[in-house]
Amino acid sequence: MSASAEATVLITHAVGLHARPSVKFTKLAKSFAAEVEVAVAANGPWFDAKSIVKVMAAKAPKGTMLHIRAKGDGAAQAVKALVDLVQRNFDEDADHARSA
């Protein structure tokens, strides 16, 4: 039996899941062996969280509940890391502070 995990997280980033956050999200998802999927509705459609094209196509604005699920090795760690990234506004606040 394969490990699995899922969670839901609110996007609070001012412009949502746009280009830079999408790149960070997919890069982090790719760092895990688990199969990771994401959706903007609980019943889907679900798409590959490791695909920048598919993640950007979601066009998830601020206020969207992002659904994340994973299965396989490191599933729980992958979901937790992605939820943490979204909750940290994709680390955009720190990036902007450094460049200001």
Which of 13, 18, 67, 96 is labelled catalytic? Answer: 18
Q: How many folded domains does the chain comprise?
A: 1
Task: Name the band, by pLDDT with cuts 50, 70 and 90, for residue 77.
Answer: very high
Of 4, 5, 66, give the one whose Cα is nearest residue 39: 66
Residue 94: inside a domain, yes or no? no
Task: Name the band, by pLDDT with cuts 50, 70 and 90, for residue 80.
Answer: very high
Residue 67 is a catalytic residue = no
All residues at 6 or more sequence positions from 73 whose CB lies less than 8 Å from its CB, including other chains: 3, 32, 33, 34
Residue 98: inside a domain, yes or no? no
The whole-angstrom separation of Cα 52 and Cα 68 is: 15
- In this predicted structure, what is the pLDDT of residue 94? 58
| CATH number, domain containing residue 78 | 3.30.1340.10
Residue 64: inside a domain, yes or no? yes
Per residue in 26-63, pLDDT (tens digit) is 999 999 999 999 999 999 999 999 999 999 999 899 99
pTM of the model: 0.90
Per residue in 12-34, pLDDT (tens digit) is 999 899 999 999 999 999 999 99
User: H helices then E strands: how many in the chain?
Assistant: 4, 4
